[in-house]
Structure 1
């Protein structure tokens, strides 16, 4: 029997946390913690969930681990909110394999980057997304994250793919807010039902004011209630309240700097801090990150704890 799908609003609006992937001390997916975190986020009022993105450590997981995490989250969500599944891969055939896994697991939409490692032309990127959409009968979101894939999705390509129905939405993690602002008006004219989600979690109030539909905040794993309050204040036109909540979240975001840059990379620091915070809050059983990332030391976890206390989360 095929899995039941959760209808995807068009556009999809609200807070869409990119789930971290809880791991056991041995590095396997902790499905009980996946379920607990999923249930917590839905209880906080989020509007959808994004599995297997950057915060989900998808680049570090095996194909089997990706399937396990996605299946656990879909089962725990139980149709209460849509589940978007990352199918991030270097090439089109590989992404199509991940799309097949996501369809079987019961995901409600797919999220893909441009191909990476090899250099690609905008025409090739457009062909990539069109082949993905043709290969899986689910809404497809483009994930613009040039810091990781070394390709910035250009406006002309996005407009064309939105207008012809290839793409249902965009997760913009480019950090180029000017480019995003220039995209919004022509995009609304070309495809009014198209979803635009910002991944820039420190400037959500401004992005919502500019017209994006929602946010995909890695910090939402730690403080989903805060992002829901921010979104609801913005929707109500209470921009002072939205700004105040954004300021509080910006202060909490300092936890991504917990790791000592002399001994670990930024990914180890940020993902380690998200997991440490979720562990301290009792949302996951273990703060382990995937190899070869360096774990946080006790003094760095204490720094995360202090920020949680200051934010009123412990």
Structure 2
């Protein structure tokens, strides 16, 4: 079973002028990210506005990314949905179309207790082939439900295909607990882009990063330098990555991602209502900010 690792990019979902999913733009974004050296792709998560897409739309995006990637990088499809039935359907579809695995966020918005969360993950894990890997996904600040370590451990104990977790909250005490699941044989991917290097130092396998959808270069450089034991370079690259995180609002508004991608020559389309594209003034301010950063790092990266 393939694990996630390194720079796993959480992809935006491009919508056209009429609010429809634009699969041509999905293809071009996939090619752009592969060309920049990311290690894995993770479409249809939070960065991909997943809850605003229908099941059929999500299937179409999943098929497009898998087909375009053509086994050049690892592709995990985020399958978590607002209902357990939709999550199971999307998980099975990901396996059928040749994805390398899935992620699944905890139940969202409606409060779920530990028993309910455990049973939810059991239903998803048991619905897919036993050798098709799955990552749990905890983002309590958005989902409003927290996946406790002991619950994750119980799920991993029961299902061998539950091999890891994406944790998108800046709590390193909890991160360390996740790293101890299965005696330390549990893949942890951190989702807090600004903490990529310290997460690697703790033992995480990598990051699932939204910012890297726009600027993959500094994140790839952090990972490469860390693997080469060049901590001084890794720290410098992390500082550059943090500048882009702050300019792009740390992933709190995907409209910044899509505007910034256009500045890079990648048309990532529009936001889907009720969220809106940036105003002209916001877009100009972002362009000015990014131009300043880009000028500083142009000797380091080909931006």
- Normalising by structure 2, we get a TM-score of 0.90
Tell me the residue number matched to 1:306: 288
Q: Which runs of 5+ in 2 are unaligned?
A: 295-301
Task: Check conservation: 1:255, 1:303, Cα contact below 8 A.
Answer: no
Q: Distance in 2 between matches of 1:294 and 1:46?
A: 28
- Structure 2 counterpart SS, 1:143: strand
Task: Check conservation: 2:27, 2:68, Cα contact below 8 A.
Answer: yes
Tell me the residue number matched to 1:294: 276
Task: Check conservation: 1:67, 1:105, Cα contact below 8 A.
Answer: no
| Deviation for aligned residue 1:111 | 0.8
For 1:84-233, list aligned pairs within 5 A.
84-137=76-129, 138-164=132-158, 165-184=160-179, 186-187=180-181, 189=183, 192=185, 194-233=186-225
Tell me the residue number matched to 1:273: 256
Q: Distance in 1 between matches of 2:122 and 2:155?
A: 8
- Structure 2 counterpart SS, 1:234: helix
- Structure 2 counterpart SS, 1:227: helix
For 1:82-107, what per-residue CA distance to the aligned partner results, in whole angstroms no more than 9, with x for missing partners?
21111112332221122233233332
| Deviation for aligned residue 1:48 | 0.9
Deviates more, 1:64-73 or 1:206-215: 64-73
| Deviation for aligned residue 1:176 | 1.9
- Normalising by structure 1, we get a TM-score of 0.87
For 1:140-180, what per-residue CA distance to the aligned partner results, in whole angstroms no more than 9, with x for missing partners?
11010111211111111122223442511100012322211
For 1:59-85, what per-residue CA distance to the aligned partner results, in whole angstroms no more than 9, with x for missing partners?
111222212221111111011112111
Q: Distance in 2 between matches of 1:176 and 1:203?
A: 10
Tell me the residue number matched to 1:4: none
For 1:203-260, what per-residue CA distance to the aligned partner results, in whole angstroms no more than 9, with x for missing partners?
11111111100001101011112111011111122122111111111112222349xx
Tell me the residue number matched to 2:30: 38
2:231 to 239, 253, 258: 239
Deviates more, 1:103-112 or 1:204-213: 103-112
Task: Check conservation: 1:129, 1:166, Cα contact below 8 A.
Answer: no
Deviates more, 1:104-113 or 1:39-48: 104-113
Q: Provide the aligned length of Structure 1 versus Structure 2.
A: 293
Q: Distance in 2 between matches of 1:123 and 1:33?
A: 41
Structure 1 vs Structure 2 CA RMSD: 1.9
Task: Check conservation: 2:91, 2:102, Cα contact below 8 A.
Answer: yes
Tell me the residue number matched to 2:299: none
2:44 to 45, 49, 52: 52
Q: Distance in 1 between matches of 2:70 and 2:87?
A: 25
Deviates more, 1:28-37 or 1:215-224: 28-37
Q: Distance in 2 between matches of 1:166 and 1:121?
A: 23
Instruction: Give the 3 Å change call, closer, same or farther, for CA 42–213 of structure 1 in structure 2.
Output: same
Q: Which runs of 5+ in 1 are unaligned?
A: 1-6, 259-265
For 1:53-92, list aligned pairs within 5 A.
53-92=45-84
| Deviation for aligned residue 1:285 | 5.3
- Structure 1 counterpart SS, 2:285: helix
| Deviation for aligned residue 1:117 | 3.5
Question: Which runs of at least 4 in structure 1 moved beyond 3 Å after TM superposition?
Answer: none
